[in-house]
Amino acid sequence: MSGAASLGRNCRRQVAALAACAFLASAGPAFADDSFVSLAKQKSLTDTPDGPKEQLRKFGIDVDVWITQFYQGIPAGALDRTARYGGKMDGFLRLDGEKLGLWQGLKFNAQYEHYFGRNVNRQDLALVPVNAAQAFIERDGYHSALSMSVTQELGEHLSVTAGKFNMMTLASQTPLVGGGGIDTFMNRAFALPSTGIGVSSPESVADRLIVAPPYLLGAVVALKTSLVDLKLMVADPRNAQQPRVIERPFERGVGAGVVATVPVELGGLRGFHTFRVAYSNARGFDLDDSGERRPLVARLLGITKKGFRFASYAIQQYFQQSEADPNVGWGLFTLATLSDGNPNPIRWSMLVGLAGNNLTPGREDDRWGVGFYHYGLSQPLLDGLEARRITRRSEGGVETFYNFAVTRWLRLSGDLQIIDPWNPRRARASYLGLRLQTKF
């Protein structure tokens, strides 16, 4: 843990220096000249006008490094009033094949993640992790992950992508609500919504019930038209963090999903309706058997059931938009999911809330949100646990955050969550968090 403490101290010193620089950039004419104003407005700390990053982009090479730090505690509901500090580093590499002298339409994306420090996930026995960005790492330790994908654009509207996908990064592209846990909501319910075809494995490090693996190995075909955006994804339903998934893909089955997003304008304001259906032929634990008192060997092997089925419907509707940029605004988001309930442990779930940008002049880069979620556990699972004298229930909670853009590359967030955990013997818990993100 000495390495984590040292890294944490270094990060805090670095952030203090960056904050001082940002203050000078925004303190007014007495402190700021044109260079400081430019520093405050650029997208990342090192992305200076005509600088190295801009020069690299001319050759088709785009590089970003983000460091996100978390300090999160449980002021009510936990026995020991736990508070933890940790964070993650994200490195992004994007290559344009045509600019590199290869061929038109070829793209390459890579994301490297390194985690440090500790987190409060599982400290209050909540079912859904309260810090999604650190939910899939070794407990109180270090972890690194690498995701890579190759895209071939086959025209203006059609593309094919294959590789290992970071599902939280993909979720971050969702309008209004975002995802990924590093700049909008922190709770996994919002940051990594269910896909319903995940297969839990004892060797994986994840949350209590895998309803959406954070990494998937597979391929996506995307078709964009003026009426609808269609995506077909075929993937190994297991968490691709496991080396065995890379070494022996699809040995436990295959998952497939179709996503249709329909843009709809309401009163001149943008909106999106997204329909998803998914199926996996993998085998999962038969929840109808979870309450049976069988011999030890039979219980360890488990009685399996083939086939995971899932459907969802989501809405993102802007209530206000910036005249200068229609992607900047705020509005309503909702998501409802439904599964077969066996072997899926989650029968249904629901999200609803308001989120987006602060449209006050000068604060358009700020983001905020408030949302409610509920995860309805499968009745066979609840009955099976009850037969073993383990009382559980469905879980729900609320979260609100405000992400203050000190500059475009330095952001400070405050976060509050209140959760009724799935263990009814646990009191309602509250979680307070601070999050500092620096984009280099």
Q: What is the mean pLDDT of the chain?
A: 85
User: What mean pLDDT is predicted for residues 364-391?
Assistant: 91
Residues 6 or more apart whose CB falls under 8 angstroms from that of 254 comprise 234, 235, 236, 237, 280, 281, 282
CB atoms within 10 A of CB 382: 22
Kindly report, residue by residue over 91-128, the tens digit of the pLDDT: 999 999 999 999 999 999 999 999 999 888 877 778 88
* Number of domains within the chain: 2
Same domain? For 67 and 165 the reply is yes
Higher pLDDT, residue 298 or 75? 75
Query: What is the DSSP code string of 334-373?
Result: EEEEEE-SSS-SEEEEEEEEEEEE--STT-TT-EEEEEEE
**Better-predicted residue by pLDDT, 299 or 314:** 314
Could you tell me what percent of the chain has a pLDDT over 90? 56
Q: Are 93 and 109 in contact (CB under 8 A)?
A: yes
Same domain, 96 and 1: no
Same domain, 50 and 133: yes
Residues 23 and 47 in one domain: no
Choose between 151 and 28: higher pLDDT.
Answer: 151
349: nearest Cα among 370, 372, 371, 374 = 374
16 in the same domain as 148: no
Do both 283 and 413 map to the same domain? yes
Maximum Cα–Cα distance for the chain, whole Å? 78
Q: What is the pLDDT of residue 291?
A: 57
Bridge-based pairing of strands 329-339 and 346-357 is antiparallel
CA end-to-end span of the chain? 26
Q: Kindly tell me if the per-residue pLDDT of 32 is higher than 50.
A: no
Per-residue pLDDT band at 138 (split at 50, 70, 90):
low
Q: How confident is the model at residue 411 (pLDDT cuts 50, 70, 90)?
A: very high
On whether both 49 and 16 belong to a single domain, the answer is: no
pLDDT band for position 269 (cuts 50, 70, 90): very high
Using the structure block, give the residue that is written with the tokens 């910036």. 322
CATH number at residue 368: 2.40.160.180
pLDDT digits (tens, 9 = 90+) for 310-368: 999 999 999 999 988 988 999 999 999 999 888 888 899 999 999 999 999 989 999 99
H/E run at residue 300: helix 296-301
Q: Are residues 65 and 6 in the same domain?
A: no
Q: What is the residue range of 1's domain?
A: 1-41
3-state helix, strand, coil in the chain (%, to 5): 15, 45, 40
- Measure the CA–CA gap between 99 and 79, rounded to whole angstroms: 57
Are both 111 and 26 inside the same structural domain? Answer: no
Say if residue 85 is in the same domain as residue 183. Answer: yes
Give dist(CA 32, CA 390) in Å, integer: 62
Q: Residue 247 has what pLDDT?
A: 92
